[in-house]
Structure formats: C-alpha cells, structure tokens
C-alpha cells in the first residue's frame, strides 16, 4: 500500500517552506501527500485558484494536493489580533477542522491518511493524530541544537539553573552535545525577563506542551525529523537521548530535480519584479554584492534603517536590500541613484543567495535563511531579533565560523560603523575573511552531499519512509 502523508503547519512562511519542500521529497519517493495550512495562508499561496475548490491539486507536482484547515479567520483578519490571542482562541476550531480532513476515508480519490507530520507551534495536531490512532512525526524547523536546548531545559534541570543565574547574561551553560553557550545567546523564550511578557509566556507554553506531554509530544515522541544535516551538528545528534528517534533530513530546500523549481507563491504580500533584481545581480562580479534581508515577520525600526543606509553608502559596495513595511529611515543615497544599490520589497531568496555575485548576507539568522545561506556558500553577518536567532548567530560565528555576529548598542541598534567593520571582515582580504569564506564553501559542499543520492539526509528520509511502510 502506498502511504498517504498529511503534512500540517502553522501559517507562516518559515514553517510553510521546509514542510512544502519535504512534501515534494515524499512525493518524489512515491508517496501521496496532502499539505494543510490555514485557509487564509492557502489563499495567498494560490491567489488565482478557486477558494472553494478543496482539495486543490498542485498544478505541477503529481500526488501532491492541498487541503487547508480553518482557524476561524479564513479571510485573514487574524492579523489585526495579538498573536498570543490567536493561539488561544483558534485551537478548538483548528483541531475540529483538521480532524475532518485526517479522518476522511478518501481524499480526491487518494487512499485515507496513514501518517501525520506537523511543525512546531501547533501541538493540537498531535491531539488529532492520537484521537484518530494515526502515527505521527514532528518536523523540527530549527537546528538540532535548539531541540537539544529545549529538551534539556524541560527535562534536564536547566530551567532552574538558568533562572538562578539570569542576572548574569554572560553565565555559560554546558548542555550535552552543545558548545558552551551564554544565557544571552539562548532562545529568547528561555531568557528570563523582569517584566511580564504575554507573548513569550504563550510561546514558551507551546514548547512546554510539546516537550512535556508524554502521550503525543517531542518529549517522548516516536519520531522527530530535523531540518538540518548530520555533518553540521554531529555532536548534537550523537548526544540526544537514545529514546528519542531524532532524524536529520535537511537541508529542506527547493530542488529543480524534484519539484522542477516550481512552488506556490510566497504568502508575504509584497511582490517585486524578479527580472529586475536578477538583472541587477547579473551586472556584478562574483562575491561582490551585499544582500540584506530580515525575514517575513520582523520590521526594522526607523533608526536601524538609517544606520543601514549610512553603512551601505560608506561601504562602497553594490547591494541588494529587501525592505519591508513603511521604509522609514531608508535613505535613497547616491548608490541607488548610480545604480550600485537596489531596494526591493521581496525576492526569491534561494535564487538570490545562489547567484554568484552575492558575497555576503546581512540577516536576522532565522533558521530558513541561515540554512539557505549555508547551502549557497554565502558568508553571513548576523543581527538576531528573537526566538532561535540569537542561538543561530552564535553557531554561525562560534561553531561553524562561516560568518560574524554584529554587535549592537544598548538600544539594540546596529551602528553603521559596526556594520562597515563586519562587512570588511567578511568581504575584505584579511585572514579572518578568507577563513570565513573557506568555511562557507566547505559547508556548502557538505550540505549538497547530504541531500544527493546516497547522502546522509537522503538515506535517512528513504529509511524513514520504508519504516513507515512496514508499520502501516
């Protein structure tokens, strides 16, 4: 019997991208896949499709269909509500909607669902799987290092250790398989704050539910798939508790040999002329362009954009800068007027990072962006904002040594002089810059090897599918 996987994710781009790339790989291996995110996100992925036509067949990839769940905000109006309220208010609706999808005896002529894979932040999916008696796996969309940190925070006594030393942000922790890490570089949800933070409280509660509910969650989960690869985090993978079946299957990125390079639209609403920014990159020699982008969620404040503008002007290097939102503080300097700088509101990041002209990525170091940069061999300058990003930057700077961490002022703003210093370090002719670029090249090769036929992540995914087939 051919397995039918139901893949479910929280409706943000950073969760949709890796899960959709996993869907393509499962289809490539011969499985049926139904992909499910919220109806509002689905509408942005397929703006030209009939919104009432569910399930929706992928126009390019056979055996892949889309069947979104309802969160009660099918028109997208949840954007006006505070996010912590969204999690609390939509849970029952999401669970009920997904149950009807997962329990269907057939979906558009395909066999019934046999296995569920879901991403972080939506633990209610595991409740649905448990109620229906369906086997399941968690797709961990952050590095394995973060999985280990959260696991030991909830299971290894580190929660109390962090709380007792929170006044010293430089206090160094030694977790199994993880390089020494200071409290300030932990995921933001784990760093104690004196003021009440409802947002943090809700998010930490979701992680706590994933790691402490023995029936359905990552704490004692049957399978945890990780969007990383063994060579990148081998110490972490070998140190994770043996009772956890943690499997590296990344990097989960688009592949022209698997998906034809054709995937649904980005759910971020900004659009841009692809031809314009790719033609801009085509004008420049290898490794000469600075690329700046800070993800699909964060918006930079006016003071920070002003400092970016000054640094880009003073660097004298060509740049491509993705600016989302109102663009306050963004100065159209002589570089833009001369054509050596380009401001855009969105781009296909994988295509940009894969272009030979790009020599440095100034990034928030969200995990998708970090992994895309690793796979493209582009050195990074990290400016973390929240969640896992501080830890990711520490890995880039201190462990993998394929980039640097930018130092911000007490007000959290990265000054132009510091960004210029980082740019010179990464792109200049100094010894450290050469080392960073060599490391970036090395990690690119290792990332590519992991997903090629017979690579470690490729074999892990094949064996995962075979094991599922034996048990269903």
CATH 3.40.50.2000 in the chain: give the residue spans: 4-146+187-261+453-471, 274-448
Identify whether the C-beta of residue 200 lies closer than 8 Å to the C-beta of residue 193.
yes
Active site positions, annotated: 15
Q: What phi, psi does 317 have (nearest 5°)?
A: -105, 150
Average pLDDT for residues 411-433, to the nearest whole number?
97
Indicate the CATH number for domain 4-146+187-261+453-471: 3.40.50.2000
**In this predicted structure, which of 51-65, 138-152, 168-182, 417-431 has the lowest mean pLDDT?**
51-65
- pLDDT tens per residue across span 143-200: 999 999 999 999 888 989 998 998 899 999 999 889 999 999 999 999 877 665 777 7
**In sequence order, which residues have a C-beta less than 8 Å from that of residue 209 and are 6 or more positions away?**
123, 217
pTM attached to this predicted model: 0.93
pLDDT range class, residue 220, cuts 50, 70, 90? very low
List, for residues 276-296, the tens digit of each pLDDT value. Answer: 899 999 999 999 999 999 987
Tell which residue, 290, 314, 319, has the closest CA to residue 420.
Answer: 314
Alpha helices in 213-348 (DSSP H): 234-239, 256-259, 274-282, 302-315, 334-338
Structure tokens at 112: 């019934």
> For the packed helices 416-427 and 431-451, what is the interaxial angle rounded to 10 degrees?
70
What distance in Å separates the CA atoms of residue 381 and residue 402, rounded to the nearest whole number?
A: 9
Of 3.40.50.880, 3.30.750.80, 3.40.50.2000, 3.50.50.60, the CATH number of 274-448 is 3.40.50.2000
> Using an 8 Å Cβ cutoff, are 186 and 149 in contact?
yes
Give the whole-number percent of the chain exceeding pLDDT 90: 63
State how far the Cα of 155 lies from the Cα of 149, in Å rounded to an integer.
10
pLDDT tens digit sequence for 107-127? 888 899 999 999 999 999 999
Query: What is d(CA 283, CA 279) in angstroms, rounded to the nearest whole number?
Result: 7
Helices (H), 32-112: 39-45, 83-102
């Amino acid at each position: 019997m051919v397995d039918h996987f139901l893949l479910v994710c929280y409706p943000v781009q950073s969760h949709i991208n890796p899960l959709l790339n996993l869907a393509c790989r499962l289809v490539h291996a011969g499985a049926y896949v139904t992909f499910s995110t919220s109806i509002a996100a689905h509408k942005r992925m397929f703006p030209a499709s009939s919104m009432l036509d569910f399930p929706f067949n992928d126009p390019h990839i056979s055996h892949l269909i889309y069947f979104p769940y309802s969160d009660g905000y099918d028109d997208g109006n949840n954007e006006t509500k505070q996010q912590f309220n969204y999690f609390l208010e939509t849970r029952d609706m999401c669970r009920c909607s997904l149950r009807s999808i997962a329990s269907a005896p057939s979906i558009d002529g395909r066999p019934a669902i046999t296995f569920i894979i879901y991403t972080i932040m939506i633990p209610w999916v595991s409740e649905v799987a448990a109620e229906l008696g369906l086997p399941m796996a968690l797709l961990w969309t952050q590095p394995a290092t973060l999985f280990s940190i959260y696991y030991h925070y909830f299971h290894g006594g580190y929660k109390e250790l962090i709380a007792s030393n929170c006044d010293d942000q430089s206090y160094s922790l030694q977790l199994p398989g993880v390089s020494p890490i200071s409290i300030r570089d932990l995921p933001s949800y784990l760093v104690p704050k004196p003021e009440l933070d409802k947002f943090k409280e809700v998010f930490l509660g979701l992680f706590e539910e994933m790691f402490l509910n023995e029936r359905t969650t990552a704490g004692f989960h049957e399978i945890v798939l990780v969007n990383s690869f063994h060579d990148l985090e081998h110490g972490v993978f070998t140190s994770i508790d043996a009772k956890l079946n943690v499997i590296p299957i990344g990097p989960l990125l688009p592949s022209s040999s698997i998906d034809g390079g054709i995937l649904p639209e980005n759910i971020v609403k900004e659009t841009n002329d692809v031809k314009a920014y790719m033609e801009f990159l085509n004008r420049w020699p290898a490794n000469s362009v600075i690329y700046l982008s800070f993800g699909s969620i964060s918006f930079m404040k006016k003071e920070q954009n002003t400092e970016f503008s000054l640094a880009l002007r003073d660097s004298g290097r060509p740049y491509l800068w993705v600016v989302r939102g109102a663009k306050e503080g963004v100065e159209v300097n002589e570089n833009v007027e001369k054509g050596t700088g380009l401001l855009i509101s969105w781009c296909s990041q994988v295509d940009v990072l894969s272009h030979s002209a790009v020599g440095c990525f100034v990034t928030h170091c969200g995990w998708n962006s970090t992994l895309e940069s690793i796979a493209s061999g582009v050195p990074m300058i990290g400016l973390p904002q929240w969640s896992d990003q501080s830890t990711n930057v520490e890995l880039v700077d201190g462990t993998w040594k394929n980039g640097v961490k930018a130092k911000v002022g007490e007000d959290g703003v990265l000054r132009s002089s510091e960004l210029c210093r980082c740019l010179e370090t990464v792109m200049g002719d100094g010894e450290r810059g050469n080392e960073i670029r060599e490391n970036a090249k090395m990690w690119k090769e290792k990332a590519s090897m992991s997903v090629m036929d017979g690579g470690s992540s490729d074999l892990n995914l094949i064996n995962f599918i075979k094991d599922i087939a034996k048990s269903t």
